[in-house]
Amino acid sequence: MFARRRSGGLAARSMASRAIAARSPKLTASRRVTSATGPLPSIAEPLPSPLATGRHSTLGHSGCPALTRATSANVSRVPVASRPPSTSSRPPSTSNVRSVTSQRTAFVANKTITAPARVRPVGRAAVPATTRKPTEVDVLKAKVAEMEKDIVEKDERLQMAKETAETQKENIGMYKERLEAMSAKVDALNMQVDVLKTEISHLKTEDEQKKVQIGKLTSQLNDKEGIMRKLHNDVVDLRGQIRVVVRVRPMLRSEVETSVSAIEYPTINSIIVNQGSKSSGAMTFEKVFTPIFTQSQVFCEIEDFILSALHGYNVGLIAFGQTGSGKTHTMRGGDGENEGIIPRAASYLFSASKQLEATGWQFEFSLSFLEIYNNEAYDLLKNHNVVKLRLVKETVSLDGLSEHPLKKQSDMAVLLRTADANRKTASTKCNEYSSRSHAIYMWKIKAEQKSTGISTNSVLKLVDLAGSERAKESGVVGQQFKEMTNINQSLSVLQKCVSMQKSKSPHVPYRDSKLTQVLMDCLGRGNSKTMVMVNITPCEEQATESKRSIEFAAKMRDTHIGSAVQQRDQ
């Protein structure tokens, strides 16, 4: 009975499906197209209606679970998107309604339909429930879902890559604009470089022409400089090989109150010393510096003489006079406006050498300080060491005397302070700070002009002699008396050498004193331009010593020592 019913139902379903296919060819074509385009599930055939077959369907019947499961397994879902759209606005026919109804029935059947629970008869064995395995369609759907997800991710990556590409494209455009701007700048700079190269070429040509012109002018300048040097030194020589000037110091306050001046000035360069009712008569010298002359004014009158040392001539400037007459003040001086000849000469030599460097001259300076104390020579700049004097071929050699290079003017100030600290001084009745030694400051000047090949080595000697004095007037005793005796003896030998040089004696006793040995080249036994500055005191009480000083100055002025010669290197 059950078998007959089942076979009848299947046959009825088959006939119904063919009938629907015959009535609805469009639906059949749609199924074929869907099957051809992809692995879509086939539409399940509709179950036969009892109205058409005259039989009741066993689908979902509690009496046929096997058929229910088979039917459910063979029915496939039809997606909504695969349904053929309606192309007519007419109301659907009965066959179409049945077709749609069959499709809806099949769509419902594609779902897992669980048969309603049947009441198991008493005494019948229970049938176990089974779980459906995933079909190939489910696996393919899962793969499709994964592929769709992967496609979405790749689409997102592609979109990000597109956005990055757009950004890079914008950056490339910006860089291209910058590159074009930089290229324009480079082109402009290249044009400027070309212009500058052209200008440099013109400047080089002009520079070569100017070098030739400068060479000619330099040659002319050297010739004229040589002429000027010769004329300058000829003028110095015309004034006398030993130039003598006199300086009268101002009277001190104590002297103004107790004494009167014994000095008269009949003309600019003459002087008279009145000794009571006796007069020395007018004596004329190269220059007479009255008490109103300042340190600066005195130096201006003698700087052309010092300039000869830069021209390659030996030069000697000697300060002579009685004690307390202002020799050390004239030569060493104080600070600022009271600076003496020695520090001012340093400044002048440095500044004048800078001017001569413009004509190609190069100079090197070195300095030595020598002291003659009790007829012995000492180094004022090196621990007061003893210096030995030797006469070699009519020149004196100073063994053990240190030389100190001078690179700048400030170096001179340091050396001066050292020499001042080492020099011998003492207080006497005539002078509170009486120098008890002769101080000789020696500048060695080396000059060279490469363009002419001329090089010279000259010496500038600035001498501050100790003052002559009388034992009765100075009141010295003991060691100071010995110092006074040696000072007076050396000054006496100096005066004797000058007198014998003036009388052109064949023998001049330079060896009799260390002082005259050192000053030998300044007194006629050598090659030097010499100036003597005689310092005197204006007080009437010192008139006798002042008269003796200017008489010695007049004798030196008449002394012929010969023309100086430029000290060129061989």
* pLDDT(66) > 90: no
Q: How far is the CA of 261 from the CAs of 272, 325, 429, 543, 545, in angstroms?
A: 11, 14, 20, 9, 14
Q: How far is the CA of 525 from the CAs of 251, 320, 500, in angstroms?
A: 38, 20, 12
> What is the distance between the alpha carbons of residues 195 and 462, in angstroms, rounded to a whole number?
61
Total of domains in the chain: 2
Shared domain check, 343 and 205:
no
Shared domain check, 553 and 430:
yes
pLDDT-derived band at 468 (thresholds 50, 70, 90) equals: confident
Query: pLDDT tens digits, residue range 469-522?
Result: 665 565 666 777 788 888 888 888 888 888 887 777 888 888 899 999 998 888
Task: Mention every residue, 6+ apart, whose C-beta is less than 8 A from residue 378.
Answer: 370, 371, 372, 384, 385, 386, 387, 422
Shared domain check, 299 and 177:
no
Shared domain check, 504 and 386:
yes
> What are the counts of helices (DSSP H) followed by strands (DSSP E) for the chain?
15, 17
The dihedral through the CA atoms of 515, 521, 524, 526 has a sign that is positive
Task: Mention every residue, 6+ apart, whose C-beta is less than 8 A from residue 391.
Answer: 397, 511, 517
Q: Could you write out the three-class secondary structure of 298-341?
A: HHHHHHHHHHHHHCCCCEEEEEEEECCCCHHHHHCECCHHHECH
Q: Which helix (H) or strand (E) holds 79?
A: none
pLDDT-derived band at 368 (thresholds 50, 70, 90) equals: very high
- Of the three residues 239, 258, 274, the one that is the final residue of a domain is 239
Shared domain check, 466 and 373:
yes
Q: What is the mean pLDDT of residues 313-328?
A: 89
Shared domain check, 198 and 279:
no
Shared domain check, 246 and 226:
no
- Say whether 241 counts as a known binding-site residue: no
- Of the three residues 205, 220, 239, the one that is the final residue of a domain is 239
Average pLDDT, the chain: 76
39 in a structural domain: no
Shared domain check, 251 and 167:
no
Shared domain check, 194 and 150:
yes
- Say whether 326 counts as a known binding-site residue: yes
- Say whether 322 counts as a known binding-site residue: yes
CATH number at residue 257: 3.40.850.10
- Say whether 321 counts as a known binding-site residue: yes
Burial 470-502 (b: 16+ CB within 10 A, else e): eeebbebeeebeebbebbbebbebbbbbbebbb
- Say whether 328 counts as a known binding-site residue: yes
- Say whether 123 counts as a known binding-site residue: no
pLDDT in the model for residue 85: 46
194 in a structural domain: yes
Query: pLDDT tens digits, residue range 445-460?
Result: 999 988 888 899 999 9
570 in a structural domain: no
Supply the range of the domain harboring residue 298: 242-558
pLDDT in the model for residue 115: 45
Indicate whether this model's pTM tops 0.75.
no
Shared domain check, 531 and 423:
yes
Is there a contact between 500 and 380 (Cβ–Cβ < 8 Å)?
no
Shared domain check, 304 and 217:
no
Q: What is the mean pLDDT of residues 260-281?
A: 86
405 in a structural domain: yes
107 in a structural domain: no
207 in a structural domain: yes
Cα–Cα nearest to 302, from 244, 260, 253: 244
- Of the three residues 178, 204, 239, the one that is the final residue of a domain is 239
Shared domain check, 474 and 412:
yes
